[in-house]
Structure formats: C-alpha cells, structure tokens
Structure 1
Amino acid sequence: MNKEKTTYFPNLSDIKQAADTIKNVSAVTPLSLSFRYSDTHNAQVYFKREDLQQVRSYKIRGAYNKISALSKAEAEKGVVCASAGNHAQGVALSCKLLKIKGTIFMPAPTPKQKVEQVKMFGGPYVSIVLEGDTFDDANQLAIAECDQLHKTFIHPFNDKKVIEGQATIALEILEQATAPIDYVFIAVGGGGLAAGLSTVFKQLSPKTKIIGVEPEGAPSMSVSIKNNKNTTLKSIEKFIDGAAVKRVGDLTFPICKQNLDAMISIPEGKVCQTILDLYNRDAIVVEPAGALSISALDFYAEEIKGKHVVCVVSGSNNDITRTSEIKERALLYANLKHYFIIKFPQRAGALKEFVVDILGENDDITYFQYAKKTNRENGSAVVGIELKSSSDLEPLITKMKAQNFYGDYLNNKPDLFQFLV
C-alpha cells in the first residue's frame, strides 16, 4: 500500500534553532513606525526593515541557515546557486563566513554592479559563472554542475532550511511589536518568506491576517491557489525581478495556500510610484520587490483603519540605471504619460501650431521621433506627452482629432508600446 505524501510544514522549534544559528550573521532589523503612511491610512503602520541587512535583503537568513547545516562531506564538495540578485549575495556572504567554496551562475547580461557586489561578499570563496541569456539558462547550468560534481544546490525558496531561515523574521516582529498585530503584508515570489513567516504567525499570533503581495505581471501564487495546484505560468513580466517567478515552490505552495489569508496582485506602475515616494519623501531606497508590501496598503485602505499593520520591506538592491524606467512606469500608471502617432502637415509652422493650439498650458512633450515623409501632404511622428492631470487626456485627443493631427494612440497597443518603454 502506498503511503500518502505528507505535506511539509515548518516546525517552530526548527525555526527557533535557525534564529540561534544566524544570530551572529543576520541583523535584528528595526520595526519602524512610518509616520507618513500611518497618517495617510489612519493606522499604525510599521516597516520591518530587511533592506538594512548587510546584503540589503532578508536572503542572508535562509542562505546561511541552509549552508551552515551541510554535512562535512557536503561542505567539502561545495555549493552552487543560480541568481542575479539578492539570493546570490546571501549565498556569497554565507560561503565566505563559513569558508565553503561556492559557484554562482548568473546570466551573461547581468549588470556589472550586481556581479561586483557578489564578488565583494563572497571574496575568494566564490566563483562567478556568467553564462546563458536568461535566469532559466543559468539555472539549468547550475543544476547540471550539481549533478555532475555532486555539489549541493542552494535553492532560493524551495528548501526546508531556507524557509526556516526566512521565518526568523516573524519571530523578530513578534518580539519587537508593542501591541497585537492585525495585518502583515509580505511580498511573494517563490513563497519562501511567506511560507516561513505565515507559519510562525499562525502558531503564535493566529488572529493576525497575513496578506501576500505579488506583481500583477507574475501572479504565480494567486493562480496556483485559484487552481488548487501549483501552476507554472507560460510567461511573466520580469520588471519586479525579486518576486517574478513562473512557478512557486512545491514546498511553499501548500503552506501559503493554507496560511495566507489573502493574495493581492499589484500593478508594476503602482510599485514604481511607491519606490519614488519612499525615496523622495522618506529617504528610503527600496527595490521593486521591496516596495510590494507597502504598495498594497492603498488597496486595503478601509480594512486597515485603526489597525496595527506591518509591511516587510524585503530588500533595497535597486539598480540606479532603472530610475528612468521606474519614473516612466509610474507616470503611465497614473495616466499622466501618453504616446501618440501625430500626423503633421508638411508645411512650415505645423509643429508650432500643434504646441500652441493643441497642447494644454501644463502639457509637456517628453518624446519626439519623426518618421520619414510617407506622402506629399503629411508626415508622422511618435510623440510622448506628459500631462499635469489625467483628466486632460480626453480634451487633448478631441483637439487633435478636430484639427486633423490625430494618427493613433499607442498606450493600449502592447506590440508597439514595448519599443517605447
């Protein structure tokens, strides 16, 4: 008779052991009251600042807990991981601290800044292999090396020791909180952090509602919960790279399915606006995945009034070269940035007429690409316009059409729009 497979759930004693294991490596990060968000939402909103870890994310917790648990024979053979982000840095630092050799596979296009960070944290104990065009390519190469050389693969989320390490965040939150916590908002990618944290809260603070937050372009946990089985998405939007996975963990899925009180998917543009607000108004630097939990607050505005709320700020490894794209996505989400094909009459003064007679007083041209003349009367240009108010869009289009400047609207044409953003 076949025995029914038992679903793994983290044991509280193992999580407490993980906390003891990592205590000299992982910082006890602050649980800080956000005055601005508390005032905005008429609630007590706290940030768990995992962005202040040495590697600027919570990933050190799981990576160190996993690698430190290796047997002597496993440690001597070394470890392997695939990552272009926070997991790579957590593994690299763990290898250096434990004096274990590690090989980290990263896609060839990985920005130099990220490669240098991993080198810095790993020092002589880490070798970096830049191969493959995508993360999936690098991941397959990493697994192949493990199979060939019998090394241990350090998975970013689908591993018991990793889950237990990430769960230590929950122990800290409950120790630091000065009042019962009503809501915890937490980013969900592969589900390692959500699985670990939710397990602790369901045992030690069962009335706390745990809300998982994922990118709208990569709703792998939401889809899996809806389908009642772990489901691989065919394609994802990779902008929020720290939380964009096609398939969540086979270990993490049943835990999250049982423990999470809700899942919410947040538009990437909303996350970008949160990143800008945190930087400009709070002097806090976060990566896209780190802003997910805070971005969810507006969607729970009524429910959290008068409540004690914790948002886990999961990381701050933001690439400065992405700033222009972050601004662009935020404006698009706010309905303030619009792209058109404009038909200009082939005569002197046509552009001046468009600026004076069509654009509003506060409208601004932020992109202009003129195409070659297609006939004797008209020439087309792709024009990006930033508005002061989203309500100005319809009057703008009406004026364009009335004076025969309107060619097409590109924001709702993804096949063309991808070349602009």
Structure 2
Amino acid sequence: MASDYLDRILKAHVYNVAIETPLELATVLSERLGNTVLFKREDLQPAFSFKLRGAYNKLAQMKPAAIERGVVCASAGNHAQGVALAAREMGIPAYIVMPVSTQTIKVKAVEALGGQVLLQGANYDAAQVAAADLADRKQLPLIHPFDDPDVIAGQGTIGMEIHRQTSGAIDAVFVPIGGGGLIAGIAAYLKSVSPDIRIVGVEPEDAASMHAALGAGEPVTLGHVGNFADGVAVRRVGDETFRLCQKWVDEIVLVNTDEICAAIQDIFEATRAIAEPAGALALAGLKRYVAEQGVREQTLVAINSGANVNFDRLRHIADRAAIGEQREALFAVEIPEQPGSFV
C-alpha cells in the first residue's frame, strides 16, 4: 500500500549519517536541452552515494540485540560503504562480501569505514550467495541492498526531499535502477503526494533487469550483465522492488555505455564533480528521453546517485564521451592478412 510506504518514509531514520542533499540547477545543460534540468546531488553524501540512507534506516529499525554481534551484506561497493558507515556509528562489526571485480576505490573506502571485506564471486549475485552463507554460519542478520521495506523507505527520503525542495513543481524524475530499491522508494513517496509526476527509470542496455522483469510480468534472471556501470550490475531485481515499480514507475529508458560517458562529462562540466557510471545513469536517460520524446520547457530531475569511481577509468570515459555525444564515430573494419592490404 502507498500509505504504508509513505508512513515508513516519513518515520525513516537517516539523518544521523546522511545529509539533505542540494537540488542544483544545471544552467548550461538546461539551455542546451530546452528544459529545466535539476541534479539531486547524492554524490555529496558522506560515503559519496545515496546507499547509506537505506542501510542506516534498516539497522536503526532493528532491535539492538539482533545486531549487537554484527551484520553481513553483499555489495558491489556503495551499499557496502553505507552498511560499514552505519555499523561504525552503532558500534557493531560489519562483514562485507564484495565481488572480486569490485573497484579498488570502493574496497578501500569500506575498509576505511571499519568494514571487514571478503572478496568472493564474479559478480553481485555470486557475492550475495556467499554473503547469505556467511550470515548463516555466523548467525548474523543479512542486510539486503535493495529488496527490503526499511531499505526502500530509507532511499525514499530522497523523494521526500525533492518534493520539499520543489513544492512538487516538477514534471519527471529520472532514477537509476540496479536492484530497484532507490526508484521504488522515490516512486512510493512522490506518487503518494504528487501522482502526476512521472517516474522514469534508467538502466544500461546490457544490465536491464527491471526492464526485462516488467516485460515478463515477473522478476527474471538475466544470463549476463555488463559491468561498466558496476553499481547497477544486477542480474535479477527484487520481488518487492518489482512489485512497487510495476505499480508506480511510468517507463524505463535504456542507454548505452557511450551515453553514460557523455553524461559523466556533462555532470563534470556543470558541477566539477566526477560521477561514477551508475551515478550518471539518470542523466543519460534524461537526455535520451528529451531527444526521443521532444519535450520542452519541463522541469526534470536527475538523481546523481554516486561518485565512487577509480581514477584510472577516466581516460576511457573521456574517450567514449565524444562518441556518446555523437561528436565522433567509432568504426571497425576487417583487413585481410595478405601483402598490400594496407595500401
């Protein structure tokens, strides 16, 4: 029920660790796109991601006796930092299982927050299996990164802030989707108080698990997902997040890697901040939506969800950004291995 989630969000405990992030006007980009574009700056959170909202709210809603020996979670990075930070604030251990492919910056950040990191599994789904086994062996609670009502409610406080910061005077909100917890929470709040606001999810073309689930009418497990936007590389969305998205999300936009890179550049030029690929996903979808729908003179919000990116990835991102903006093209040709082929 919408009223149940609205109540959960209003009662969520997040501000012991989270800040109310600004909603910033991207002036030059707004002029270029012919719409008012606002960035919700979740990259400015203490752990450089929105994830600490849901993680802290989940732990805050649990009985102290249930978590005094510690908690376990699986994450590709940002949920791990959120759980580690929340656990540190509460003075309890946090055991964090991360895929072996996790970016170094995210592993070090979790360790700096006091989390005990175990690198297991090729992707998030494999890490989640390992985390569940660890939680069972240690008899500790497993903190799910997205498919949990308290986690969803914590993320939903972003929707509450957006509505307060704009008095509801917006046309659409663009939200990145991994497992679906962020968009489920934002949609639950905004659709409860301003049903006419469009909620648009954005996924990478090679990790479109919610798009596939909505098309099938139920969660499905993708055979493979791309890892460029590792923060949203989830093969299967949650049952609860799917239910909420099926009810409240208006549409989903799919974008490619080059469009994500171009959005990272746009965010840098507007804010001088460097978003991670998943963090720029919403803006990439907003730009495609504007181009395909031809909308003008609307107020559009993009959730800048995170900024945990390895420095050594920036050259690749910069190279692909020009292709994403269609200022350059990439061609591939096959050349026979015989004399004179290059002449």
TM over 0.5: yes
Does 1:313 find its partner at 2:250? no
Aligned to 1:90: 82
Q: Secondary structure at the match of 1:176?
A: helix
Give how far 1:107 is off. Answer: 2.8
Aligned to 1:28: 20
Aligned to 1:69: 61
Report 1:101-180 matches (<5 A): 101-122=93-114, 126-178=115-167, 180=169
Runs (5+) with no aligned partner, structure 2: none
Relative to 1, partners in 2 of residues 1:17 and 1:303: Cα closer, same or farther, differing over 3 Å?
A: farther
Aligned to 2:183: 194
Q: Whose Rg is larger?
A: 1
- Whose RCO is larger (CA < 8 A, sep 6+)? 2
CA contact (8 A) 2:70 2:93 kept: yes
Relative to 1, partners in 2 of residues 1:318 and 1:111: Cα closer, same or farther, differing over 3 Å?
A: closer
Does 1:291 find its partner at 2:280? yes
Aligned to 1:353: none
CA contact (8 A) 1:328 1:337 kept: no
Relative to 1, partners in 2 of residues 1:141 and 1:300: Cα closer, same or farther, differing over 3 Å?
A: closer
Relative to 1, partners in 2 of residues 1:178 and 1:255: Cα closer, same or farther, differing over 3 Å?
A: closer
Q: Secondary structure at the match of 2:303?
A: strand
CA contact (8 A) 2:76 2:230 kept: no
Does 1:405 find its partner at 2:323? no
Aligned to 1:330: 321
Give how far 1:235 is off. Answer: 1.3
Relative to 1, partners in 2 of residues 1:138 and 1:231: Cα closer, same or farther, differing over 3 Å?
A: closer
Identity rate, percent = 39
Give how far 1:330 is off. Answer: 3.4
Q: Secondary structure at the match of 1:337?
A: coil
Encode CA deviations 1:352-375: one digit per residue, 9 max, x unaligned. Answer: xxxxxxxxxxxxxxxxxxxxxx66
Encode CA deviations 1:271-313: one digit per residue, 9 max, x unaligned. Answer: 1111123224541211111111111223232553111211111
Instruction: Tell me how far apart the structure 2 counterparts of residues 35 and 245 of structure 1 sit (CA, whole Å).
Output: 33
Aligned to 1:368: none
CA contact (8 A) 1:171 1:200 kept: yes
CA contact (8 A) 2:26 2:270 kept: no
Relative to 1, partners in 2 of residues 1:134 and 1:42: Cα closer, same or farther, differing over 3 Å?
A: closer
Give how far 1:49 is off. Answer: 0.5
Q: Secondary structure at the match of 1:26?
A: coil
Instruction: Tell me how far apart the structure 2 counterparts of residues 330 and 45 of structure 1 sit (CA, whole Å).
Output: 20
Q: Secondary structure at the match of 1:152?
A: coil
Query: What amino acid sits opposite 1:144 in the alignment?
Result: D
Runs (5+) with no aligned partner, structure 1: 1-6, 344-373, 379-403, 407-421
TM-score, normalization: structure 1? 0.76
Encode CA deviations 1:113-168: one digit per residue, 9 max, x unaligned. Answer: 3221111123xxx3222234443333222110111222110111011110000000
TM-score, normalization: structure 2? 0.92
Give how far 1:17 is off. Answer: 0.6
Aligned to 1:275: 264
CA contact (8 A) 1:213 1:264 kept: yes
Instruction: Tell me how far apart the structure 1 counterparts of residues 279 and 102 of structure 2 sit (CA, whole Å).
Output: 20
CA contact (8 A) 1:45 1:311 kept: yes
Choose the corresponding residue for 2:32, options 35, 40, 44.
40
CA contact (8 A) 2:2 2:188 kept: no
Encode CA deviations 1:173-206: one digit per residue, 9 max, x unaligned. Answer: 1111156111111111111011111011111011
Query: What amino acid sits opposite 1:115 in the alignment?
Result: V
Query: What amino acid sits opposite 1:69 in the alignment?
Result: Q
Instruction: Tell me how far apart the structure 2 counterparts of residues 62 and 310 of structure 1 sit (CA, whole Å).
Output: 21
| Larger proportion of helix | 2
CA contact (8 A) 2:29 2:270 kept: no
Q: Secondary structure at the match of 1:311?
A: strand
Query: What amino acid sits opposite 1:188 in the alignment?
Result: I
Give how far 1:112 is off. Answer: 3.3
Instruction: Tell me how far apart the structure 2 counterparts of residues 10 and 325 of structure 1 sit (CA, whole Å).
Output: 44
Relative to 1, partners in 2 of residues 1:73 and 1:178: Cα closer, same or farther, differing over 3 Å?
A: closer
**What stretches of structure 1 move > 6 A for 4+ residues in a row?**
none
Aligned to 2:10: 16
CA contact (8 A) 2:176 2:281 kept: yes
Q: Secondary structure at the match of 2:239?
A: coil
Give how far 1:336 is off. Answer: 2.0
Encode CA deviations 1:199-254: one digit per residue, 9 max, x unaligned. Answer: 11111011111111111111111111111111111111121111121111111001
Relative to 1, partners in 2 of residues 1:10 and 1:85: Cα closer, same or farther, differing over 3 Å?
A: farther
Give how far 1:37 is off. Answer: 1.9
Query: What amino acid sits opposite 1:88 in the alignment?
Result: A
| Larger proportion of strand | 1
Instruction: Tell me how far apart the structure 1 counterparts of residues 69 and 2 of structure 2 sit (CA, whole Å).
Output: 27
Relative to 1, partners in 2 of residues 1:175 and 1:117: Cα closer, same or farther, differing over 3 Å?
A: same
Give how far 1:68 is off. Answer: 1.4
Aligned to 1:251: 240
